[in-house]
Structure formats: structure tokens, C-alpha cells
Structure 1
Amino acid sequence: MSDLHIRCATLSDIDTVLQFWRDAAEGTSISDDQDGVARLITRDPEALLLAERDSVLTGTVIAGFDGWRCSAYRLAVHPDHRRQGIATALLEAAEQRFATLGGRRVDAMVLEANEQAHHTWAAAGYHREDHWRRWVKPL
């Protein structure tokens, strides 16, 4: 894993990240556009973490913190690079960020139908709380 580099995204990464999510993630959301990602990076420049190998984007995670709760989402690894520890490295980087910020709990948004992702999160020590249901409304 020594050739894996994790860094924070910059505004110049937006097009690459959006294409990556179309190729590697399970669908897109209403905020997956230039403006949405630019707002994220501008508001919290350390939130969007990128994993690169040989300068090629191989994985992402958004490690958001609102001062109260830590949120992890958009964990994605390109299909050609899965099962190589990239998701684990991204989660470790996100958790280190959260610890530095004083976070005490991480909530992860994971698609219900993405069984592969469920295994990844469980292997990283996360558990499902089935009694919670998220309600979402686009603004």
C-alpha cells in the first residue's frame, strides 16, 4: 500500500471526481454536480478525501463533520482496484480526521441494496442500526 496516496480534493479535481463517481459508485445524487462538489470543497477543504495510485484516482470518501456528528459517505473504490485495501485506507484517514476534530461517533450513509459495501463497512467495525430510517428532501 506504500504506493497509495491519500489527499484532500481541490477545486481542480471536481470533473475527475464526478466522472469517477459515475464509473465507480452506485449511482449519483442530486448534489453530484459541479456546484455541489465545489460547495463541499469550499466549505470544508479537508472533507473530500481522494485515494490515488500512480496519480490515478482509485477511491473517494467524504468525511464530513458539523461540529457534533461525523458523517461518512461516498466511499467508493474503482472496480479495477477493489480488494486492495483502498477502502480501509480511506476509512482510516477519515477516522483520523474525525478524531483530530473531536468527533465521537461516525454515521455512514450506505445504499440498502449495496451488499458489497455492507461487508466493507462491517469489516471496518461499523454496525447497522436498523431502527433508524433516513428521510431526505432535496432543497
Structure 2
Amino acid sequence: MNDLRIRPAAAADAGNVLAFWRVAAEGTSISDDEAGVTALLARDPESLLLAERDGLLVGSVIAGFDGWRCHLYRLAVHPDARRQGVARALLEAAEVRFLALGGRRGDAMVLQANARAQHAWRAAGYGPEEHWRRWTKPLA
């Protein structure tokens, strides 16, 4: 595990991150394109955390803080690197970031049908808040 390196993504990583998500992430987002990733990094340069091993991308998480809430998205681990502590290390790095920014509670977007992800989030100490429902409206 000590060979794992976690770092903030750079704009130059956008294409590699998008290719990684196609292999490692569950589901897609309206923002899954270079414009979306580069806009995220322009707005909050340290929000997209990448885990690398031997120079290869093995995990990611978006740890966004809007000054009010700490939001976690796109926790993904390459299938060949799962169950090796990558997700836990990414979440720990995200939580350290949030605490440094004054955050008080992290929340995560987790697909209801993704049982593996729900298990991982529970193992990291997160739990669902059943009294909330996400409401969305596409803007473009």
C-alpha cells in the first residue's frame, strides 16, 4: 500500500481520467467529458484526487467543497486494484482536504443499484440518509 501515490489531477490528466472512468466507474454523468473535467479543475484545482501505482492510474475521487458542504463523487478503483485499500486511501485524503478547508461532513453520490459501492462506502463509515432524495434538472 505504501507504493500508492495520491495527488490532485491537472488539466492534462483529463483525457486519461475519462478513459479510466470508462473502465473503473459505474454509470456516467452529464459532465463526463473534457470540458467538464477541465471546468472542475479550473474552479477547484485540488478537487479531483488521483491514486497512482507505478505511474498507472488506479483510483479517483472528486472531493468538492463549496464552502458549505463536502461532496464526494466518482470514487472509482480499477478492477485490478480493488480490495487493496485504494478507495480507503482516496477517502482519507479527501477527508483531510475537507477538514483543512473547514468542512464538517462529507456526503457521497452512490448509485442505488451499485451494491459493491454501497459496501465500500459503509466500510469507510458513510451511511445513507433515507429521508433525502436527489432532485436534478439538466441545464444544457
Query: TM over 0.5, yes or no?
Result: yes
SS of 2:133's partner is coil
Greater than 6 Å deviation, 4+ residue runs: none
Write out aligned runs for 1:22-101 (5 A): 22-101=22-101
Deviation at 1:27, TM superposition (A): 2.1
Structure 1 length-normalised TM: 0.99
Alignment deviations for residues 54-110 of structure 1 (CA, whole Å, 9 cap, x no partner): 000000000000000000010000101000000000000000000000000111000
Give yes or no for the alignment of 1:115 onto 2:125: no
Secondary structure at 2:7's aligned position in 1? Answer: strand
- Relative to the length of structure 2, the TM-score reads 0.98
Match of 1:136?
136
2:47 counterpart letter in structure 1: A
1:66 partner letter: D
CA distance in 1, matches of 2:136, 2:74: 16
Deviates more, 1:23-32 or 1:59-68: 23-32
Q: Which runs of 5+ in 2 are unaligned?
A: none
Q: Aligned residues, how many?
A: 139
Q: Which residue identity is paired with 2:60?
A: T
Instruction: Note the C-alpha offset of 1:133.
Output: 0.6
Q: Secondary structure at 2:27's aligned position in 1?
A: coil
CA distance in 1, matches of 2:40, 2:61: 12
What SS does structure 1 have at the residue aligned with 2:32? Answer: coil
Deviates more, 1:28-37 or 1:88-97: 28-37
Cα distance between partner residues in 1 of 2:17 and 2:107: 22
The 3-state SS of whatever aligns with 1:2 is: coil
Percent sequence identity over aligned pairs = 71
Question: Does the residue aligned with 1:40 lie in a helix, a strand or coil?
Answer: helix
